[in-house]
Amino acid sequence: MNPTSYKYAIKDCDVTDKPALERFRAKRSEWLDWLRHDEHHAITLSICSLVWNDVSFRVLARAGETNEEGALGNSLIAEALIEGHIAIQTLAIRRLMDDRKSGVISLANLLKDIDRNVGLFTRENFVAFDGLPYDCETARKRVVTAQLVAGNSTFWAARHGPDAYSPSQQAHETFDRISGVDPANRQRLDRIPTRHVKTLRRWLTETNAGSIVDWTDNFLAHAAGRHRRHRVDLAAIQPTLDKITAVTRTFARVSEVVLAYLLFDGGLGNVMPVAQYDELEQLDRPAITAKQASDLTKRWNVMENERNEFAAGVLEEILAVPS
């Protein structure tokens, strides 16, 4: 885990309610860890993996469709690709939607926790949580006056700390938009409307994510009994590529709102990772040679025979166990 660090101590932040700022910074760090920094389960990493796997599979599927005589038309390859892709994507969606236990890193749990703590999103916390001046105009006049007195016609504007009036102004403008407060009526204790977080939670519930989770629970993560399967409309919940892509899009949009507009930490950027190699390398070559085909047939037969003997002699072995 790479916990979020702050450049300025709480006592040095231009915030009147220091205890509230302390709680806000602790929660903000936790949420950013969930979103960006957890080395195993970071939400943005999961979303980028969903996008990468989606595009990769669609490209391979297109290759198979346009060349039915190619290696991708082989039933073993097609079966492994399709089942593997569906398993990876649906399990990732299931993890991101898991809200059954506190402490589980998921997008659903993140929104629940933000909803519980939405009162911490005051304007002063939002703008000045890490040393930025709350009053950006007073800070601008102070900095410009000091530069003029020093005879500096040009200077580098600060990006953090009490002299960083431009980032402070940007933060105020962002908060104006999401709070709906007119800039002329700004108050330190202005708050973000709770409806915004509820809207994000509604976005999740209105996607096909829930049906995909149900399908995964019944047919992938668990082996549901027949009586339970009959309660599920298979035609309606059978995962499809378009359903999975639509859910991934919603995940990205929800995360963008939280990162860029609630936590003011920059957005997702490009959700599709950039390939560090030629993604189509060697796909123009045969999957196997004629010699390999002969060897693989022999290997298949050996493994088939080994596995067909798995259940042999079980009665003798269990009867040989002393009473």
Could you state, in order of their start, the residue ranges of all structural domains in the chain?
Answer: 40-121+192-288
- Structure confidence by residue, pLDDT tens digits, 282-319: 888 888 988 899 999 999 999 999 999 999 999 999 99
pLDDT band for position 275 (cuts 50, 70, 90): confident
List helix spans (H) across 130-233. Answer: 136-149, 165-179, 194-206, 209-216, 226-229
pLDDT at 25: 97
pLDDT at 318: 94
pLDDT band for position 181 (cuts 50, 70, 90): very high
When pLDDT is averaged across residues 5-21 and rounded to a whole number, the result is 96
When pLDDT is averaged across residues 197-202 and rounded to a whole number, the result is 96
- Structure confidence by residue, pLDDT tens digits, 54-65: 999 888 888 888
pLDDT at 250: 95
Side-chain half-sphere CA neighbours of 286 within 13 A: 6
pLDDT at 219: 63
pLDDT at 251: 96
Q: Which residues, 6 or more positions from 172, have their beta carbon under 8 angstroms from its beta carbon?
A: 123, 127, 136, 183, 186
Q: What is the CA radius of gyration of the chain?
A: 28
pLDDT at 282: 87
Both tokens of residue 15? Answer: 């915030």
Average pLDDT, the chain: 89
When pLDDT is averaged across residues 213-226 and rounded to a whole number, the result is 64
Helices 209-216 and 194-206: crossing angle, nearest 10°? 50
pLDDT at 62: 84
Q: Which long-range contacts (CB under 8 A, 24 or more apart) does 170-178 make?
A: 171/126, 171/127, 171/132, 171/264, 172/123, 172/127, 172/136, 174/126, 174/261, 174/264, 175/123, 175/126, 175/127, 177/261, 178/261, 178/262
Say how far apart CA 264 and CA 171 lie, in whole Å: 7
Question: Is the CB of residue 222 less than 8 Å from the CB of residue 253?
Answer: no
Say how far apart CA 82 and CA 216 lie, in whole Å: 15
Closest CA to 47 of 11, 95, 4: 95
Highest mean pLDDT (candidates 1-5, 40-44, 276-280)? 40-44
pLDDT at 272: 92
Cα–Cα separations (whole angstroms), residue 265 to 36, 156, 171, 220, 247? 10, 22, 10, 36, 23
pLDDT at 3: 52
Which range, of 72-86, 183-197, 287-301, averages the lowest pLDDT?
Answer: 72-86
pLDDT cut 70: percent of the chain above it? 91
Question: Is the CB of residue 8 less than 8 Å from the CB of residue 161?
Answer: yes
pLDDT at 9: 97
When pLDDT is averaged across residues 238-255 and rounded to a whole number, the result is 88
